[in-house]
Structures are given as C-alpha cells and as structure tokens.
Amino acid sequence: MSSVFINLKKNHSRHIPCYNEIEIVPESLIEHVDERRMSMDREGMLISERINEVSLICAREHPIYEQVSSYGIALYVLGCFNVPDVMSFEDIDSVEAGNILKDHFIPIMENDLPAKCQIVESKEKYLLVICDPLFPIHFAVLTDINSKRLFFSKLRYFGSGFDSLDELMNEFIGEDGVDYKDIHFYKRKISSRTSSPCQPKIYIFKNDGSVV
C-alpha cells in the first residue's frame, strides 16, 4: 500500500482560516512539496487553532476564562508559551510583557507593515502595542491587514475578539492621556519563533503535602 501525504486545506469563511478540509496528495508528488511552505502551513494551522480555542473559552461576551491579560492571550496565540492550551500558561503583568517585547520583538514603523499580511500564511508576526512599550497596557495580534477588523486581542472588561484600530482605541483613548500617538507596532524576531520567552511555572509537591 503506497503512502500518502495529507495536506490540510484552509477554509477562508472566517476572519482566520480554519483547516477543516483534507486533500490527499499522491506519494509521487511528495518530493515536490515545498518544505518551507509546509512549515508555514503547520504554524498557521496552530495559530488558527489557538485563536479558535481562545474565542471559545474567552469569548467577547460572557467569557469563561476572563481573568487573563491581553499580553498573555496575544503571546499565547503567537506560540510564545510552551504549553498545551490557553489554561496552562502563567499569566504575565505589564512589566513582564515589556521585557518579552524587548527581548523577542523589534519595533517597526506603521509604514513598514506589509501591504499583504495574513497571519496564518505569513512568516512574519506582528503585534500592536498601546502605551509605553516598557509598561504597555494592551497587546493585539495583527491577523489580516486587509480586514476591517484586523486585530485579535483580549479586552480588559470583555473577552477576546476581532477589532479595528478605532474600536481598540475607543477602549483606551483618554485614559491617562492615551492617544493615537501611543500606538506602536512590533515584529517578532525570526530567531524567537521556536523559543519560549516565558516558561510555565513549575510546582514541586513535597512529602509533607506543601507546594513550592
């Protein structure tokens, strides 16, 4: 019995393509598959799955998991935490978020954003950062630059969802002087794609029953 290669096809009916169709590629064609494209497809599939997972468990309205920051959600979606699911990572505060930003992302100008950028297809990953990058108040993932609601993030008093730039800024503008001048864009370093800037907390159970 000859082997086959299973290629996951994308369904573009939502903001983020869902990989829910299967295409069987004959063995004779496997050698012609672009390995770089396959790597990007796999990463895109994982990002799509994370966004769908977050959207279910931390929905915009009535989120099940609401005590989590926008930093944690954005970094989880980008695969920055080496954890199996959204409930498994230890959330971070603004100081930790600023440190991760400094170590694993590079600042860019808005004009440097590509004309075409779809997060599940592009190797570059981008973050919208609001306020001082050392002490940010919000992270949002750029998902589709040509969409009306191009950012995915977790709002402070609501769950996660897609928003336009104006919709996001309406949540923060005027707060402590926040204005459009406080918008920053960052691109994830290529070298950080396989690293984990924040490791999950390790709990040690001692013989006396205590946890450290």
Q: How confident is the model at residue 174 (pLDDT cuts 50, 70, 90)?
A: confident
The percentage of residues in the chain with a pLDDT greater than 90, rounded to a whole number, is 57
Residue 211, pLDDT score: 40
Q: Are residues 128 and 160 in the same domain?
A: yes
Token pair listed for 41: 């497809």
Q: Are residues 29 and 97 in the same domain?
A: no
Q: Which of 105, 106, 104, 125 is nearest to 114 (CA)?
A: 125
The number of folded domains in the chain is: 2
145 belongs to a structural domain: yes
Q: How confident is the model at residue 44 (pLDDT cuts 50, 70, 90)?
A: confident
Token pair listed for 154: 């977790």
pLDDT digits (tens, 9 = 90+) for 130-166: 999 999 999 999 999 999 999 999 998 899 999 999 9
Q: pTM for the full model?
A: 0.73
Q: Are residues 166 and 103 in the same domain?
A: yes
pLDDT digits (tens, 9 = 90+) for 125-134: 999 999 999 9
Q: Are residues 144 and 60 in the same domain?
A: yes
Q: Which residues contact 200 (CB under 8 A, 6 or more apart)?
A: 81, 82, 83, 88, 89, 90
Range of the domain at 19: 4-38
